[in-house]
Structure formats: structure tokens, C-alpha cells
A and B are shown apart, each in its own frame.
Chain A
Amino acid sequence: DVKVTQSSRYLVKRTGEKVFLECVQDMDHENMFWYRQDPGLGLRLIYFSYDVKMKEKGDIPEGYSVSREKKERFSLILESASTNQTSMYLCASSLSMSGANVLTFGAGSRLTVL
């Protein structure tokens, strides 16, 4: 069964800390995505990557960066965490950029910034 694994389910960090959220997929998918999920707002795209070492900004990239050094791994980085980044973060991958393509999601990482 295909899988997207997010390394941390729950994290608690302090304001100003650097935070790494890791995501690994075992499906040899080309594309990987980071979404943020907040109640009443649905999911919003932070960054995505369609190839190793490539990245594109999504709708809300401010305060985040990403790294994709290997095809299977896509990391989300909060350089200096702030309380308004407290949220659920969802990683996803897809095989191609076809418009009908389906995303496979990880279970999510719930981040609390104090």
C-alpha cells in the first residue's frame, strides 16, 4: 500500500525556534506538497515541488521554506516559529501534474507554538 509518512504527529515548540517537519513517500511520486489545515479555512497550499531540488510557492509561503534533496523526502522548515503558525500540517504526494491526478496524504503533524 502506498504511503506518505510524516515523522512527527505532535510537536510543541517555543516562539523563535527553528522547526523541521519531515515527510517521506515510498511511491516514487514526482510531486510533493505541504498544506496547512485550520478550522473553517480548509487546506491551504504552502509550497510544492515537482522535482528534486525544485520548489514553487503556494498560496501562503510567508514564514516557511522547503527542501527537497531526494525524490522521496520533502521537508518544511519554519525558520523562526511564531504562534500564528500553530496548526495541522499535511504533506501529500502525487504521481504527475495531470489535472485529474490524485493526492496521497500523510496523517498530519500537529504543531503548537507557545
Chain B
Amino acid sequence: GDSVTQMEGPVTLSEEAFLTINCTYTATGYPSLFWYVQYPGEGLQLLLKATKADDKGSNKGFEATYRKETTSFHLEKGSVQVSDSAVYFCALTEGQVGGKLIFGQGTELSVKP
């Protein structure tokens, strides 16, 4: 079945460092891809998404490009802030059914001043 694999955390960076969180997927169809973020004590919220190959999603300085050839959707940010400390989840839609998301295991990011 479809699945998502993320790099393991926790990831600890200094403020203004470059961030990459790797995400690869397996899927039989053409899923949409998402990054959700969970700040401490809160539920998940959408960070960005891409719905087809070569699409780039971006938000709040974060970017991810839907790479069908490498089945990847890596999350990047050029300069992280302390406020970016959170857990990041990569996810895909199972088939074409919206909402039936398959999530990766999550990557905890801690940014130190």
C-alpha cells in the first residue's frame, strides 16, 4: 500500500541555519502531497501542499517540490527561527480520496537561539 517515510528526528539547529527534512513516498496513483506542522500543545495545521509532479508548495519561507522521478517531497527553509520549533509531518492522499491522508512518522525540529 501507499506509504510515507520521513527522516528521523529530533533535528536540532541553530537559528538562521538551513533546514532540510527528507520525505519519500510510495504510491500507486498520483497523490497530492502535503506538509503539516504541529506546534507544541496544538493540533496539526497545513504548512504547504503540491498536487502534481514538479509543483512547488511554499509558505512562511518553507518550500517543497513534488519530485515524481525520485518520489520525494523534501521540506526546506533557508533560515530557521526559534518559532519554527515544532513537529513536521509529510503526508499524501490515498488514491484520490481527500482527507484519507497517510502520514509519515513526524520529524521534531528544535531551533536554538
Contacts and interface: CB of A to CB of B under 8 A. Distances in A.
Nearest to A56: B100
Interface string B40-55: 0111111001010000
Contacts of A98: 96, 98
A76 interface: no
A94 B99 contact: yes
Nearest to B4: A42
A96 interface: yes
Interface in B70-113: 89, 91, 93, 95-101, 103-106
Interface residues of A, number: 28
Chain A CB within 10 Å, residue with most, of B31, B43, B45, B96 = B43
B32 interface: yes
A87 to B, nearest CB: 14
A98 B93 CA distance: 10
A4 B43 contact: yes
A100 B96 CA distance: 8
A58 B101 CA distance: 10
Contacts, number: 72
Contacts of A99: 31-32, 51, 93, 95-98
Do most interface residues of chain B lie in helix, strand or loop, or is the interface mixed?
A: loop
Contacts of B36: 103, 105
Interface string A73-114: 000000000000000001010101111111111111000000
Contact of B49 (A90, A100, A108): A100
Nearest 5 A/B pairs, CB to CB: A101-B98, A105-B43, A42-B103, A99-B96, A43-B103
Interface of B: 4, 31-32, 34, 36, 41-46, 49, 51, 89, 91, 93, 95-101, 103-106
21 contacts: A4-B43, A33-B99, A40-B105, A43-B44, A43-B91, A45-B101, A48-B99, A48-B100, A58-B100, A90-B43, A97-B97, A97-B99, A98-B98, A99-B32, A100-B51, A100-B93, A103-B46, A103-B99, A105-B36, A107-B42, A108-B42
Interface of A: 4, 31, 33, 35, 40-45, 48, 58, 90, 92, 94, 96-108
